[in-house]
A and B are shown apart, each in its own frame.
Chain A
Amino acid sequence: DAGVTQSPTHLIKTRGQQVTLRCSPKSGHDTVSWYQQALGQGPQFIFQYYEEEERQRGNFPDRFSGHQFPNYSSELNVNALLLGDSALYLCASSYRTARETFGSGTRLTVV
């Protein structure tokens, strides 16, 4: 039973560029949440998707946007990248009383 799958695992982008990160949830899970984890910090909630709609959003600017597809997979898009966007981006999936399972993340480096 595959867990949460994220791609790519590592990414290097230039300041000002745009990036798309992808997540496939654990089988049977229908809710996807995205978190940003800066080096040496705890993960911070970006937003959550359920039934293809953004259900909750953390304190992140509109440069961060997302999408959920009918098969429950999700994308995180970040526009106009800043150096401070360098972090590990984590996807977590869940279903009703089954709490979050995290993927291994995408390490984004902005240069």
Chain B
Amino acid sequence: QQQVKQSPQSLIVQKGGISIINCAYENTAFDYFPWYQQFPGKGPALLIAIRPDVSEKKEGRFTISFNKSAKQFSLHIMDSQPGDSATYFCAASRSSGNTGKLIFGQGTTLQVKP
């Protein structure tokens, strides 16, 4: 019940295209769903996050879509750029304030071709 499943494992997109990464969770007690971006040799950096009371959140070129009934959420990267090439992780936590441990997906390696 603690798993977060992420797909695809890898993704190749042309510059200017849309990158879509999907995640599914099992524990309905999760109430915080962030996406992290990780470059080689670096720690994960928070990109965008959503709580289950909204179905969509947009920040610049990054959008999270959230489907509570299906227990799924996805990251859309619009106008993908070569600089977006990185590994992306979805995560979920059950939290009050910031006390919840993060459960991460397996990661998606994104390559954006020029």
Chain A residues in the interface with B (C-beta under 8 A): 4, 31, 33, 35, 40-45, 48, 50, 55-56, 58, 90, 92, 94-105
B99 lies within 8 A of A99 (CB): no
Whether A40 contacts B98 in the complex (CB less than 8 A), given A99-B49, A104-B41, A105-B43, comes out as: no
Chain B residues in the interface with A (C-beta under 8 A): 6, 32, 34, 36, 41-46, 49, 89, 91, 97-99, 101-107
B105 lies within 8 A of A42 (CB): yes
A43 proximity list for chain B (CB < 8 A): 44, 89, 102, 104
Compute the total of residue contacts between A and B using a CB distance below 8 Å. 61
A48 lies within 8 A of B107 (CB): no
Q: Whole-angstrom distance between the alpha carbons of A98 and B106 in the complex?
A: 24
Q: Chain A residue with minimal CB distance to B32?
A: A99
The 3 closest A-B pairs by CB, nearest first: A42-B104, A102-B43, A45-B101
Whether A4 contacts B98 in the complex (CB less than 8 A), given A40-B107, A42-B89, A44-B104, comes out as: no
Q: Chain B residue with minimal CB distance to A50?
A: B99
Q: Chain A residue with minimal CB distance to B45?
A: A102
A99 lies within 8 A of B34 (CB): yes
